[in-house]
Structure 1
Amino acid sequence: MMANVVSVGTSVPAPQVSGSLDREVTTAPITLALFGLVIPQGDNRVILNATVGVRSTLLAPVLIFNIFRGNQIIFSSREEVLLSAGQEQTVSLHAIDTNVPATINEAYLLTVQLEDALSAAEVVGPVNFSGVSYSYP
């Protein structure tokens, strides 16, 4: 069975090098990346991938990454940054969204937030977020 790629979306808000970005992570969600995809009718899938460079700035922060389709969370990951303050770590996320309603521009959004305010972290880059929608017979 051969799949038909319908749409590819990417968002690269920071160059693909460590230290290219410096955004404080808070307990409120912050948007890291956003793109749109064409979603075909019928049996379909969307493969989503994200890479985010983070740095612990106080204790061992727990970060909550969410991927939204429109306003709905479709994927969530809890990542503990087990590093000394100032060290950097790369977090990779992979998700598959199945049987998505057909549309000409579905928004996918990546956010991050701290689980609690007792620790601190920064997004330092790289940041990239991509998706591929496809249909199959």
Structure 2
Amino acid sequence: MVRILDKAAVEPRRRFSLANTIIIRQSPNRTRLASIRLRIPVLNAQPNRVELVATVGVRGVTGIAQILFRIFRDGVEIFNTVQGIESAASEQNYAVTFQAIDRNVRSGSHVYTVTAENQTRNTRADVVGPISFSGLAVRTTS
């Protein structure tokens, strides 16, 4: 049995658009995509988990970029994944979706942030939308 403790969602970009793109910065620099705040109550909140889901629309511009997506809780990385993004002679537009689970989060208010960075030199990939990021904090039974 689970009990909902808190939920949050943002959608900074609702649709795909080539007219309003964001270049994904080269590592070690990061492009901040979205943030949410979740509150874990002091009483009756353990054990718990925070379920996080992000979707990011990305377009390959040059080469085959390796995009590192990261999720941070309060500035500390808790999850990452890499997605290859091709540019020419193949697919160019991607909707990258990933999920992370953060377990037994201490009580208080926590900021979760999702970022992207391009790990491959001499390539380019852009965020073209949509962008969505959501979190659901639940109390779980042992």
TM value normalised by structure 1:
0.92
CA contact (8 A) 1:26 1:117 kept: no
* CA offsets 1:38-70 (integer angstroms, 9 cap, x no match): 124310000000000000010111100000001
* CA offsets 1:59-104 (integer angstroms, 9 cap, x no match): 111100000001110000011013427821110011110011111x
> Which residue number corresponds to residue 92 of structure 1?
97
- The alignment covers a number of residue pairs equal to 134
Aligned-pair CA distance for 1:116: 2.6
> Which residue number corresponds to residue 39 of structure 2?
38
Say if 2:41 is the partner of 1:49.
Answer: no
> Which residue number corresponds to residue 107 of structure 1?
111
Runs of 4+ in 1 over 4 A off after TM superposition: none
Worse-matched range after superposition: 59-68 or 78-87:
78-87
What is the alpha-carbon root mean square deviation over aligned residues?
Answer: 1.6
Distance in 1 between the 2:122 and 2:87 partners?
A: 15
Say if 2:129 is the partner of 1:125.
Answer: yes
Aligned-pair CA distance for 1:117: 2.6
Q: Percent identity?
A: 31
Q: 1:72 aligns with which of 71, 76, 83?
A: 76
| Secondary structure, counterpart of 2:111 in structure 1 | strand
TM value normalised by structure 2:
0.89
